Amino acid sequence: MMQLPSLSLASPEEVSTGPDDVVFTAAFRGESPSRRGLPDAVSQALDRLVGRPGWQGREGQRFATEAGDGGPQVEIHGLGGANGWGVRKLDVWLRDALELATKNRAATVNLLLPDHPAMRHPGAAAWLGRALVRAAYCFDRYQTHRDDHHRVEAIRVVPPAGADMAGATAWSVASGVTLCRDLANTPANEATPQWMSERAAELAHDAGMEITVLDPRQLEERGMGGILAVGSGSRQGPRLVRLEWGRRGPRVALVGKGVTFDTGGISIKPAKDMDEMKYDKCGACTVLGIARAVADLDLPVRLRVYVPLAENMPGGAAYRPGDVVRCYNGKTVEILNTDAEGRMLLADALAWAAEEEPDLLLEYSTLTGASVVALGQDAASLYSPDDQLAGDLLAAAEGTGERLWRMPLWPEFVERMKGNHADLKNSGTRWGGANNAAGFLSQFVAPLTRWAHLDIAGAAYVGRDAEDDPGATGYGVAFTVDWLCRLAE
């Protein structure tokens, strides 16, 4: 896993002032940052910066100076107007600050967070962990000259007065997001189902979790035809990983789709952008990152994590359009499109998770392009029949800067997924494709009613042609950890 800088919350008096350090702060238009408690050299440097002609705190405005001989560099960034401002703009500031610190080869970065209500949200610590990883993360383990890349050694965060942030939560979220991104960015020639199960075993060993890994023979014995069908065309046999952690608190099941590479199978995808299909395992990576953070925080929850893993390839043994597959709960599915494979993996894993009677179940998957068409890469789709669960997840997402949008879960969606020669079909009409997929999945969670399906296809990764840095984002770890922290209370 990428080595993160050390992360700590600090008081203004603890800001480091060495020559290799840097101090970043930010202010809204017409405002000045607090200097209370800061070392004299830093406070005086900020006085000089805000006193310069032209300083107004406009968005994108940036002034810098040295804090005396042998002191740190001090920078102030403008954030623009405070009205309508949210954590996403603060994300941009943090990314710019860490990028500058890296270019200047700083050892320690001091971040003086601006005073804003978002910093007092219960999810602020989880947001901080996610945002810092977004800013500092670098996936370079395949680059031969990576030792030349400078890495910041330590980050000290000074929250505004009255903000109650938990450093342990921020660090654990950062660790979980980093694990998620590292796993998701690993290419399919390394990240096979077997490799992913081995990484899960390492996590289980480090965190004291119980682990069960089902191989193809065991999947067949259990009647898990969905996972077996998807993996049938690959030389890399499928797996189903189950992790268990905790002996007290609510029983929570997490299910994550893990297609280590998706060609579409016999219903093969177009060649354009197919390299990005290594990210079709992002749901699996998300739930493993969440599990790491939960164990790090020792949350009082009884967590079970289910990770179905397969590579969807064409081949002589691959499943075909027209096949009928029987899943773990006995329901049969008529295959109309082998590229609608994620729901086949999830059918078996969801049925097993529901059979073990959790209090709540969340499932994460890069499931449909239709969700991306609807929401772009700015949010994930949320489907749930439970209003309280949906509301709690939406609130957690809002506070951590990870957007969710609730979609309908109407009975018609299930009707559209009924098969001609089987109970269900795995592909519906062109219209409302994300809705139809959610209706299909709902047939594998009964009798559970407190469950949610999160289609993270748009938010889980950024393609190489996007404005943001390409690669996995670690989406879903922060808001879920924040939700679990409040659930555990």
Cα–Cα nearest to 454, from 412, 394, 395, 373:
394
Report the CATH number that the domain containing residue 435 is assigned in CATH. 3.40.630.10
The Cα–Cα gap between 241 and 203 comes to 12
CA 368 to chain centre: 17
CATH of the domain at 126: 3.40.220.10
Could you tell me the two tokens for 64? 């810098």
The answer to the question of residue 166 being in a domain is no
Confidence (pLDDT) at 1 = 67
Judge if 145 and 201 occupy the same domain: no
State the total domains in the chain.
Answer: 2
Q: How large is the angle between the packed helices 282-297 and 477-488, nearest 10 degrees? A: 40
Do the Cβ atoms of 208 and 265 come closer than 8 Å? no
Q: Quick one: pLDDT at residue 467?
A: 61
Q: What is the pLDDT along the chain (489 residues), one digit of tens a residue?
A: 677 888 889 999 999 999 999 999 999 888 888 899 999 999 999 999 999 998 999 988 999 999 988 899 999 999 888 876 677 778 888 888 988 898 888 999 999 998 888 888 889 999 999 988 888 888 888 888 665 667 888 999 999 887 778 889 999 999 999 999 999 999 999 999 999 999 999 999 999 999 999 999 999 999 999 999 999 999 999 999 999 999 999 999 999 999 999 999 999 999 999 999 999 999 999 999 999 999 999 999 999 999 999 999 999 999 999 999 999 999 999 999 999 999 999 999 999 999 999 999 999 999 999 999 999 998 999 999 999 999 999 999 999 999 999 999 999 999 999 999 999 999 998 899 999 999 999 999 999 999 999 999 999 999 876 666 789 999 999 999 999 999 998
**Residues 143 and 197 placed together within one structural domain of the fold:** no
pLDDT at 455: 98
65 with 193, same domain: the answer is no
Query: H or E element: which one contains 332?
Result: strand 332-334
- Same domain? 109 vs 198: no
| Active site annotation includes 269 | yes
The answer on 181 and 149 residing in a single domain is: no
pLDDT at 162: 77
Question: Dihedral, CA atoms, 465, 470, 476, 481, nearest 10 degrees?
Answer: -160
| Helix/strand/coil for 476 | coil
Same domain for 447 and 352, yes or no, is yes
User: Which of 269, 326, 406, 486 does the annotation list as catalytic?
Assistant: 269
Residue 168 lies in a domain: no
Q: Give me the torsion for CA of 320, 322, 325, 331, rounded to 10°.
A: 150
**What is the pLDDT, as a whole number, of residue 148?**
61
User: Distances in Å between the alpha carbon of 44 and those of 38, 110, 397, 475?
Assistant: 9, 16, 38, 40
Instruction: Quote the pLDDT of residue 103.
Output: 87
Which of 101, 125, 160 is a domain's end point? 160
Is-catalytic flag, 331?
no
Residue finishing a domain among 117, 139, 160: 160
At residue 181, what are phi and psi to the nearest 5 degrees? Answer: -70, -40
The pTM of this model reads 0.95
Clarify whether residues 193 and 115 are in a common domain. no
pLDDT of residue 108: 93
Peptide bond into 447 cis (omega under 30): yes
Catalytic hit among 242, 331, 343, 425: 343
Distance (Å, whole) CA 229 – CA 127: 39
- 210 and 128: one domain? no
Using the CB atoms, write b or e for 17-53: b if 16+ within 10 Å.
Answer: beeebbbbbbbbbebbbbbeebbebbbbbbeebbeee
DSSP state of 198: H
Answer whether residue 349 is part of any domain: yes
Q: 317 and 456, same structural domain? A: yes
Give the structural domain span for 394.
Answer: 173-488
